[in-house]
Amino acid sequence: MITVTLTTQSLLETKADAYVFFADHGFDPAHFSKTAGALYPQFEEAIKMRGFSGTAESSLILTGVHNGRAVFLVFLGLGDLRSGYGNIETYRRSLGYLVRTAESHKFTSFSLTLPDPIVLGLSTRRLGQETSTILHKAEYHFNEYITSEDRKYSWNIDAFIVVDEASREKAQKGIDQGIIIAGAINTARYWGDMPPSTLTPPIFAQQAVEMAEQYGLKSTVFGRDEIVKMGMGGIEGVARGSMHEPRLVILEYKSAKPNAPTIALVGKGITFDSGGLCIK
């Protein structure tokens, strides 16, 4: 599990197993002399020797010392930020790689400074949201049917996000929103990973109703008879291949704003398909 904490401390004031540095293509290593240089005085030479230039989705991991502790320096390439093309997606992929690196190297914590949101074409709030969403999405593991405890991943990681005081409030709002978004995405991924013999239509519908009760949504569940009466032959026809009757679930949220537009999202939450195996 990842715990994201916003801080206005400087990068090196945070106590972490790894310190993260984002670099654009063709960056000047001297830019990190006060931070990375304090952890590993020869880091510039190491960067040149390893040929790290900050190209998109590239990375470099070095080891250093901070306050008598061995630490990692993780450099992540963001590519040519001047182009504007793919900057956000490259940033997302870099964060995903960071989480996987933390898992493989068994970091218990890492610290990073948010990049300049303007360079990425984002607001401070949106940058906080993107950062939080990806960090929590990347921690997802489907361990439901892994019987060996040694093979199950259950590493706890503290992620410290460094911002200045002026950006703190907006960044925190974004981080909080990102946690909600990632939680919803990971729930959908979990349902998608469950086999149809376990997540049957009745069980799926029940979980949806429980979620609605938790978050104050209105829920409506239609069974086979209602589905047939409404002329939804496609759903009913597919369900004939299963011993479990189909369900159609509707969740509704009513805005407090009287003139708010109506937004409808239709999801293909199929738990069984007579034309394929394990299609969600």
Number of Cβ atoms within 10 Å of the Cβ of 109:
18
Q: What is the mean pLDDT of residues 32-56?
A: 96
66 and 114 in a common domain = yes
Domain boundary among 193, 221, 245: 193
69 and 205 in a common domain = no
pLDDT score of 252: 95
Domain boundary among 162, 193, 224: 193
Identify the band that residue 275 occupies on the pLDDT scale cut at 50, 70 and 90. low
pLDDT score of 158: 96
- Enter the tokens of residue 119: 């360079």
pLDDT score of 36: 97
pLDDT score of 123: 94
pLDDT score of 81: 82
CATH number, domain containing residue 63 = 3.40.220.10
Q: List the one residue out of 110, 99, 126, 102 whose CA is nearest residue 161.
A: 110
228 and 206 in a common domain = yes
pLDDT score of 31: 94
161 and 63 in a common domain = yes
Number of Cβ atoms within 10 Å of the Cβ of 247:
23
For 244-261, the pLDDT digits (tens) are 899 999 999 999 898 999
Q: Alpha helix locations (H) across the chain?
A: 36-39, 43-50, 87-105, 124-138, 168-193, 201-215, 224-229, 233-239
Q: Is the pLDDT of residue 276 over 70?
A: no
Cβ(167)–Cβ(115) below 8 Å: no
130 and 241 in a common domain = no
Return the higher-pLDDT residue of 119 and 160.
160
pLDDT score of 273: 66
Domain boundary among 149, 167, 193: 193
| Structural domain containing residue 248 | 195-280
Identify the band that residue 61 occupies on the pLDDT scale cut at 50, 70 and 90. very high
87 and 41 in a common domain = yes
Provide the mean pLDDT of the chain.
91
Identify the band that residue 274 occupies on the pLDDT scale cut at 50, 70 and 90. low
pLDDT score of 280: 47
Q: Is the pLDDT of residue 3 over 90?
A: yes
243 and 179 in a common domain = no
pLDDT score of 239: 86
204 and 186 in a common domain = no
Return the higher-pLDDT residue of 258 and 152.
258
Q: Is the pLDDT of residue 196 over 90?
A: no
64 and 20 in a common domain = yes
For 65-118, the pLDDT digits (tens) are 999 999 999 999 999 887 665 688 999 999 999 999 999 999 999 999 999 998
37 and 139 in a common domain = yes
256 and 185 in a common domain = no
110 and 84 in a common domain = yes
For 234-246, the pLDDT digits (tens) are 888 888 888 889 9
Q: Is the pLDDT of residue 54 over 70?
A: yes
Number of domains in the chain: 2
61 forms beta bridges with: 74
- 0.85 exceeded by pTM: yes
Rounded to whole angstroms, the Cα distance separating 73 from 78 reads 16
For 115-137, the pLDDT digits (tens) are 999 888 899 999 999 999 999 99
